[in-house]
Amino acid sequence: MTPTEKFLSRLEAVKGRAGAFTARCPAHDDRGPSLSVREAEDGRVLLHCFAGCDVHQIATAVGMDLTELFPPKRNDNRLDNRTAFPGNPMKPAFFPSDLLRIISFEALVVAIAALDLAKGKPMSETDRERLLVAYGRIDEAVRYSNV
């Protein structure tokens, strides 16, 4: 099963064909299809919610990790996150702009928590858990960037 097929199997009201689909967004109370799903030439699942949900929210809502939206890596005995294609230079598994968007969003979560703490607002258990998720996502993005 391709990443696109796996993702689409977890959605409701899926319509479309030939690599372009619409469906109800699982990250918000969607009455009509506001989620656009496309499969890129390299097998990546491209998502856009017209209501504004981000890719993290959408993937989490269907119980998937962001890495599952990408095709499996070829086993070429390399230790990094790049995939080799015969005759082509090494290409990164994630675009730098995607990693920066992830880090930017999660940094915003951290900044909001810091501002609340600076104002003396106590941190709830839910907030602590979300802060740990933000830390994990930032750390994962850094690891994928090979820095």
Collapsing DSSP states into helix, strand and coil, what is residue 142? Answer: helix
Q: Find, among 146, 138, 140, the residue nearest to 80 by Cα.
A: 146
Query: 26 with 58: CB under 8 angstroms?
Result: yes
Average of per-residue pLDDT values in the chain = 81
Give the pLDDT confidence score for residue 86 in this predicted structure.
Answer: 46
Whole-structure pTM value: 0.48
Question: Residue 113 CA to chain centroid, in angstroms?
Answer: 22
Q: Find, among 108, 116, 98, the residue nearest to 46 by Cα.
A: 98
> pLDDT tens digits, residue range 78-121?
444 444 444 444 455 567 778 888 889 999 999 999 999 999 99
